[in-house]
Chains A and B, each alone.
Chain A
């Protein structure tokens, strides 16, 4: 049985119909079987997505062997998914974009393909004007309905400003890594490795946290 239902495929095909730009998806797999338990599922899903729009390109890479790409895109763990337009956007998923995070992936792809990021104008202006490096990590679980909104806000910020990089991190897959950040409730958002908050915040509030962290 296919993971995506026929209904889902129909919906996605329609959604991706008008995309103008290429969306490049890099999927880094790892030889660590335990971490990569669901990698085959992801391959299947990405394969499906590819057939739904000719703008979606998928490339599978090895975390252990494709050293150049790992370095180029600053990939720190695998499995992971890196989303690119014609350039690196600083948008990553560590762990697989499954469960509720599948929606985040779909919406990210849609934003990149349509070259349109739905941020409130004033928020957009303020995000664009950030001139310092920002690294946002959003810890999630696949079963957390509140998490995609935090992931999406972080990813949108990254898409509109090259200085900003943002990662979704599946706290189950990368349990030990999450533990070093003391993650015991999700979403937990960590900004520049020093400031953090729990929960989903409206875009403007999220932005405030980022700006405060730069002070």
Chain B
């Protein structure tokens, strides 16, 4: 049996922080490690679990330093431990609102306000929800976005994995331990996952992949019964019987709780410069939440370290009045 022990959180001790980091995923935690080592009074606020999205994947195989891979949650816990070791305080709570424009920033967590001279937004992203006819009523009732969480509930059942990127293929491979009955539905004519993941997938000869497929609807009364799909090449519709659907079709950045004057792009990702600076003074952003091309643990960590370094620079010239 596996035991996961979350080594607790301390209560905030300061009235005003040098830095508040929003989000305890790889970006926020790495920013914390660097800020702590720069001796900034730092508070990191996390709503759910340290490790962020990475905690929902069983094994990371491409994060350097772990030739046999490392558990996503385990890596998150280790990063947290490392940040705390350098003096970062970790608070569990949801940031509901921010006031980022003044010299001192106000961060609202449930009923309290925390003040800080600077902020790093590392709130990451959440899975994009499947939005087709019939999908709404099956969210949490057969449509899932977390194979690690819900996979075992589909033991020996028929499932469909939607998507063809890294997450889809990784999690589809993970699901093979619970059921052999897996069908992939991908809208492009090919998969976009890393080649090594594709190879592993193709080793499973029985596994069916529908390419060029557009999902038309999810059908069923109380339970999911089938998915209707259109073959975009032939324009023909067909149905696939299924009990569950695991969806990996990209991300939506978590920026809805932030100041409206923060500059974001048309998809909601925060715009930053090379130093992770946003358009607001003293406000930086890092990780999956920023506009960029490649969203991984290592790139999130990299952004986080740069953001922390920029904060340190910013605070050198910070005058209290």
Contacts and interface: CB of A to CB of B under 8 A. Distances in A.
B6 A148 contact: yes
- Range of interface residues on A (Cβ < 8 Å): 35 or more
Interface residues of B, number: 38
Contacts of B149: 141, 143-147, 185-186
Q: What are the 4 A-B residue pairs with the smallest beta carbon separation, nearest first? A: A198-B140, A144-B149, A103-B6, A185-B140
A183 interface: yes
B55 interface: yes
B228 to A, nearest CB: 20
A145 B153 contact: no
Nearest to B9: A118
Given A11-B7, A99-B4, A122-B111, A145 B55 contact: yes
B5 A102 contact: yes
A106 B4 CA distance: 10
Interface in B129-160: 139-144, 146, 148-154
Given A96-B1, A149-B92, A185-B150, 15 more contacts: A8-B5, A45-B3, A98-B3, A107-B6, A120-B110, A144-B148, A144-B150, A145-B55, A145-B73, A145-B149, A146-B149, A184-B142, A184-B153, A185-B143, A202-B110
Given A120-B110, A184-B244, A141 B1 contact: no
Contacts, number: 107
A11 B6 CA distance: 10
Contacts of A41: 1
Nearest to A4: B3
A149 B153 contact: no
A62 interface: no
B304 interface: no
A106 B5 contact: yes
Given A45-B3, A106-B5, A144-B149, A200 B140 contact: no
Which of B6, B141, B151 neighbours the largest number of chain A CB atoms within 10 Å of its CB?
Answer: B6
A15 interface: yes
Interface in A175-193: 175, 178, 182-186, 188
B140 A98 contact: no
Interface string B1-16: 1111111100000000
Contacts of A198: 139-140
Contacts of B222: 182
B225 interface: no
B251 interface: no
B180 to A, nearest CB: 19
Contacts of B3: 3-4, 8, 45, 98-99, 102
Contacts of B1: 3, 38, 41, 96, 98-99
Given A45-B3, A102-B4, A145 B150 contact: no
Contacts of A98: 1-3
Interface SS of B by simple majority: loop
A25 interface: no
Interface stretch (B31-39, B46-54, B259-267, B309-317): B46-54
A146 B48 contact: yes
Contacts of A164: none
Contacts of A73: none
B49 A146 contact: yes
Given A145-B73, A198-B140, A186 B5 contact: no
A99 B4 CA distance: 5
Interface in B52-83: 55-56, 58, 73
Which of A143, A148, A182 neighbours the largest number of chain B CB atoms within 10 Å of its CB?
Answer: A143
A108 to B, nearest CB: 13
Contacts of A178: 153
A99 B149 CA distance: 11
Nearest to B72: A145
B94 interface: yes
B145 to A, nearest CB: 8
A13 B95 CA distance: 32
B110 A141 contact: no
A21 interface: no
Contacts of B48: 145-146, 149, 200
Which of B3, B8, B55, B92 neighbours the largest number of chain A CB atoms within 10 Å of its CB?
Answer: B3
Nearest to A139: B153
A122 B8 CA distance: 23
B152 A141 contact: yes
A19 interface: no
Contact of A184 (B5, B56, B93, B140): B140
Nearest to A149: B48
